[in-house]
Structure 1
Amino acid sequence: MSEIQHKTALLNGIQLHIAESGPSDGPIVLFVHGFPELWYSWRHQIAALSAHGFRAVAPDLRGYGDSDKPESFSSYTYLQVIGDLVALIDWLGAEKVFVVGHDWGALIAWYLCLLRPDRVKALVNLSVAFLPRNPKFKPLAAMKALYGDDYYIVRFQEPGEIEARIAEVGTEHFIKFILTYRKPEPIILPKGSEFGNGPIPLPPWLSEDDVEFYIRKYEQTGFTAPINYYRALDLGWELTAPWTKSQVKVPVKFMVGDLDLTYNSYGAKEYIHGGGFKRDVPLLEEVVVMKNVGHFIHEEKPDEVNKHIIDFLQKY
């Protein structure tokens, strides 16, 4: 971790914090984190990739960590975040980069490749498969119809409401609840008992020091800006209408845990394995399903994930 350099750059009108490691002339790998993650979530990958001669670059996305946090939820659509990443690629002096994404970062990476395939050499995405835009249904209405009003993304919509509940249970409890979630089912948050009761034990792959890093940052910044990504889902759906039925045309490797809530969501397995995924991502080269692994696959099984990433990227 001591070899990681931390920088701040003015990109797309905001200050972004960037962590990077590896030779300055190495092939750039851009890591895009999810919720409630930070650049730190890629610590294992940064170490491994930089040791193999790659220049590993992991920003705190807008709204997270030490990056700027625009106030309006409308500042957190795919288009703005992709604008940040394209500006970052320019700032790094690159024409094209490798991209690795997880969770929200995977969604953003899919759209980066959809909108600007000219800037991406190849993509490794974790946990969240490509979600083709459905022109008939807005995301929130579809989620509410499938999972009900207590589905976590639906619960996240009312400004201030879920933040107040997080404040009541405490940042530590909330962080542990999310990072240790391993049920192969949707996150349902019934009002008044959203995050369970009592202490939450940590799995072997997550230390108290790791959790403390997240706690320290989120107690400084709060959760509103990261949750605004969820509040901008319908707006993002509207703005990406021109790309309906577009294909992702960069080389792709996809990895997911068999206990991941996203892999077990409605229709996901049928889409991933039944031909739909390959139809929409024609350069999809491999799908890896890791057994007995949850959502935070890159932290739970870093050695295996790192090997998959390195083996794939070295082909290009």
Structure 2
Amino acid sequence: MKGIEHRMLNVNGINMHISALAALGYRAVAPDLRGYGDTGCPAAAESYTCLHVVGDIIALLDSLEAHDKVRAFVALTVPFSPRRPKMKPVERMRAIFGEEYYMCRFQKPGEIEAEIAKYGTGEVLKKILTDRKPGPPRLPKENPFGIPPNASPPLPSWISEDDLKYYANKFEHKGFTGGLNYYRALDLNWELTAPWTGARVNVPVKFIVGDQDMVYTTLV
């Protein structure tokens, strides 16, 4: 937690879920991970490993006096995957999906950040939120986000222009490097988690995925 600043704030898009859970009698907390929102944003990818995330969450739960820390686990879109001891994750994804696969393209510091700046934060976020193209996301060198030159796609019904502006302003202020650093720490995570090779999740798990998500259409 050293050097990481955390604040409590209202976040557009999550309010409806927090209210629904609170109405059912639950105490709900939706923190930003380091590098997002109003948190601190270390520049080095080495500060974004899974161990840092666990440490941040445990420290937050301790500050909230949450004694029953992991009674169950819910995974959204990204399932728990066994560690593959013979191949680093980025190398494996490159072998399966190619160099243009989005996680592979995120590896070089500054490269994707420059592309986002070129097309504009708001337009990139809008494209990400409205893209329904099935299959593994790829970011080619030419127009990686596939943004039309003279037209902007309409927003889906579940997000407003005000919400989009809110998120765009946050990213304009914070930048995308913090979020991208989680992908740049994938191979380091692989090294750090060697002692847990073969480990299993030992609490009840719910897994939620959309029927058009690549995890469902490509990997299942």
Corresponding position of 1:151: 101
Task: Compute the displacement of 1:50 (Å).
Answer: 1.1
List structure 1 runs of 4+ shifted beyond 6 angstroms: none
Q: Which runs of 5+ in 2 are unaligned?
A: none
Corresponding position of 1:242: 195
Corresponding position of 2:184: 231
Indicate if the aligned counterparts of 1:156 and 1:227 stay in contact, CA closer than 8 A.
yes
Indicate if the aligned counterparts of 2:121 and 2:172 stay in contact, CA closer than 8 A.
yes
Task: Compute the displacement of 1:178 (Å).
Answer: 1.4
Task: Compute the displacement of 1:219 (Å).
Answer: 0.7
Corresponding position of 2:32: 60
Question: What percent of counterpart residues are identical?
Answer: 53
3-state SS of paired residue (2:153): coil
Q: Distance in 2 between matches of 1:79 and 1:40?
A: 28
Corresponding position of 2:74: 124
TM-score, normalised to structure 1's length? 0.66
Of 184, 187, 191, the residue aligned with 2:137 is: 187
- 1:180 is aligned with what amino acid? T
Q: Distance in 1 between matches of 2:29 and 2:110?
A: 32
Of 57, 62, 67, the residue aligned with 1:90 is: 62
Of 164, 167, 187, the residue aligned with 2:117 is: 167
Corresponding position of 1:72: 44
Indicate if the aligned counterparts of 2:3 and 2:40 stay in contact, CA closer than 8 A.
no
TM-score, normalised to structure 2's length? 0.94
1:9-42 deviation per Cα after TM superposition (whole angstroms, max 9, x unaligned): xx4552112348xxxxxxxxxxxxxxxxxx5443
3-state SS of paired residue (1:56): coil
Indicate if the aligned counterparts of 2:13 and 2:159 stay in contact, CA closer than 8 A.
no
**RMSD over equivalenced CA pairs, Å:** 1.5
Say which structure is richer in strand: 1
3-state SS of paired residue (1:257): coil
3-state SS of paired residue (1:124): strand
Q: Which runs of 5+ in 1 are unaligned?
A: 1-10, 21-38, 97-118, 270-316
Bigger drift between 230-239 and 11-20 goes to 11-20
Corresponding position of 2:6: 16
Q: Distance in 1 between matches of 2:55 and 2:175?
A: 24
Task: Compute the displacement of 1:184 (Å).
Answer: 2.4
Total equivalences in the alignment? 217
Q: Distance in 2 between matches of 1:12 and 1:45?
A: 30
Q: Distance in 2 between matches of 1:203 and 1:18?
A: 28
Corresponding position of 1:278: none
